[in-house]
Amino acid sequence: MAEVKREIFGHMPLEDGGGEVEKFVLQSDSVRVEILSFGCIIAALKTRDRAKQFADIVLGFDTLEGYTRKHPFFGAVVGRVANRIAKGKFTMDGKEYQLFLNNGPNSLHGGARGFDKVLWSPQILPNGVCFYRLSPDGEEGYPGELKVWVTYTLNGSELAINYRAQTSKKTPISLTNHAYFNLAGQGSLDIYDHEISIEADSYLPVDDTKIPTGEVAAVQGTGFDLRQPVQLGKHLKQFHLDGFDHNFCLPLGRARRLVARAHHPPSGRTMEVHTTQPGLQFYTGNNLDGSLKGKGAAIYPKHSAFCLETQNWPDAVNKPHFPSPLLLPGEEYNHTTWLCFGTA
C-alpha cells in the first residue's frame, strides 16, 4: 500500500483567479511520485536504479511559477482533446466548431487554457488521489459541459492513471498525461543511450504541421519499426531522423496491454507502458532548446527527454476512418494507463 501525503505547493496568481495549489506525495518502497492539483501535473517521479539509488526521472520545475509560465506541458494532463486538431476546426451534426489556434495553424492539447492550466479539486484515496473538474459548455470552443475525473494510484512499482468523463452534449475527448522522461535522471543531457520498443505494426505519417495525412502506414522496413528494442541515438542516425513526434497505432481492443518499454542500460532503470487507449504518441523532445531552467537549475536541451503519451489518434475528429473520439451524453469515457518501473 502506498503512503499518501499532502502539502501546500504554492498559490495561483490573482490574475489567474488565485487559489491554493497542493502537492500530493504517493510513496511505496520503490517509487515516489509528486502530483499537483494544478493541471494534475506529475512534478516528480523517483525510481531506483540497479544500485538501489533513487533519481527523479521526469522534467519539471521546483516552483509553481515555472508551471504557470509557458512551458511544453511538463507532466500535465492535457485536454479536452490531446494532440493536434487540423486548423482548430471540426464539424459535428452539421455545425462547425472553431477552436483556438495555439500550434501554428492548428489547435494543440485543448487550446489556450486547456486542462493543464487549471486548478482541479482533489480527493485523497487510500493509495492515491482523484482530481475532479467541471469543464463548462463552450470552454475553449468545445461543446457540452464535461465532468472529468483523473485518478492516480500507486501500487508497489506501478503507477496507474485513470481518466473518466461524462458530457451533457456530444463532444470530442482524448485525455493523456504529458510527462517527459529521462531514465538517467532529469537534467541528463540526452536520451541517446536509452533503448525503446513500441508494440505497433503501423503509425501515422504527418504533414509539415504534424497533422496526420490520413494514411495508416506499416512500420515494416522503416525507421518507425520499433517492435524490437532500438538504441535511440544510433537509430535516429541510421534512419536520418530528427526525432519522433508520431502516433503509433496500437492493437485494437479495450483490454489492458503492454504497448511500450524503455530501458536505460547504464542505470538499469526500466519503464513499461500498459494502456487501454488506441494510440501512443512517441515524442523525443525535439522542441526542447535549453532555454527553460528546470529542477535543480537543470537545462533541458533537444532530445533530453521522451514522452509516451497514450491517447486517441491525432485529428481523429476530422478523420472518419480513425477511432472515433466522440463522447455522447449517457456514455462514459474511461481509459487507464499503467506505468511500471523496475530494473534490468
Q: Which amino acid is at 305?
A: A
Residues involved in catalysis: 178, 309
Are 181 and 303 spatial neighbours (Cβ–Cβ below 8 Å)?
no
Where residue 155 falls (left for φ over 0; alpha for ψ -120 to 50; beta otherwise) is beta
Q: Check the annotation: does 269 bind a ligand.
A: no
What are the respective helix, strand and coil percentages of the chain, to the nearest 5? Answer: 10, 45, 50
* 3-class state of residue 247 by DSSP: strand
Q: Check the annotation: does 178 bind a ligand.
A: yes
Q: Check the annotation: does 55 bind a ligand.
A: no
Backbone angles phi, psi at 311, to 5 degrees: -170, 180
**Residue 231: which of 190, 280, 279 has the closest Cα?**
190
* 3-class state of residue 117 by DSSP: helix
Q: Check the annotation: does 289 bind a ligand.
A: no
| Residue corresponding to grid cell 511500450 | 260
Sheet strands (E) in 12-88:
20-27, 31-36, 42-48, 54-56, 77-78, 84-85
Q: Check the annotation: does 84 bind a ligand.
A: yes
The binding site comprises: 83-84, 178-180, 245
The binding site for beta-D-galactose comprises: 83-84, 178-180, 245
